[in-house]
Structure 1
Amino acid sequence: MNIEQLREYCLSKKGAFETLPFGPDTLVFKVAEKVFLLVGLGQIDDLSFNVKCDPEYAVELREEFEQTVIPGYHMNKKHWNTVYANRELPDQKLNELIDHSYELIVKSLPAKIREGLQ
């Protein structure tokens, strides 16, 4: 997976959009103004991104994929993981982690907004 494939996948999510709230170096993907993925734009050879994760699942992933999933860099380490692409996980699994993050955010939205996304 490269950064353009990551961007296209995130933008394919219903209601997703991109923004640069932290400056020109960090691309942030949101749904209904809530962040579901962050990625640094300067990455070429060793792509990583931050995604939200259920705390118990986050621990499981970190234990199983020690070289690929670590506590979220500059994020709440209980709820966010930094995931390295092109290491232990195939693109399908990376997409599943993005889906999981997106779904956690959507579940937290008010019912009226959730209905508009379905």
Structure 2
Amino acid sequence: MWSWVLHRITGVLTFFFLFVHVLDTALVRVSPDTYNEVIETYKTPLVNLMEVGLVGAVLFHALNGIRVMLVDFWSKGTKYQKHMLWTIAVVWVLVMIPGAIAMMWRTVSVMFGGGE
């Protein structure tokens, strides 16, 4: 049940990100200066942390979507659905740990005096 709830939540989060992304990209046509200001606000540690969360949400949503398709369309899907859930959890962790480190590296280095 929790994977169902997380799948819905990550889907909504991804939708809202795409909505904001389309709006801020459209700003370049309306006012390039305003667009540049908005893009500058995205270069903060908080937004960087939110980007890591977004990647985690999209990755879980994609992996769980594959699991849902296998459960629905594979004759043995329901038998192995719990195993597949643990598999996607392990894959998610294995991808997210180095991914989060790579995404946060610049922010951490700037915060602790490493510069740009």
Q: TM-score range by the shorter chain?
A: 0.3 to 0.5
Q: Return the structure number with greater relative CO, CA threshold 8 A, min gap 6.
A: 2
* TM-score in terms of structure 2 length: 0.33
If each structure's helix is expressed as a fraction of its own residues, which one has the higher value? 2
* TM-score in terms of structure 1 length: 0.32
If each structure's strand is expressed as a fraction of its own residues, which one has the higher value? 1
Larger radius of gyration: 2
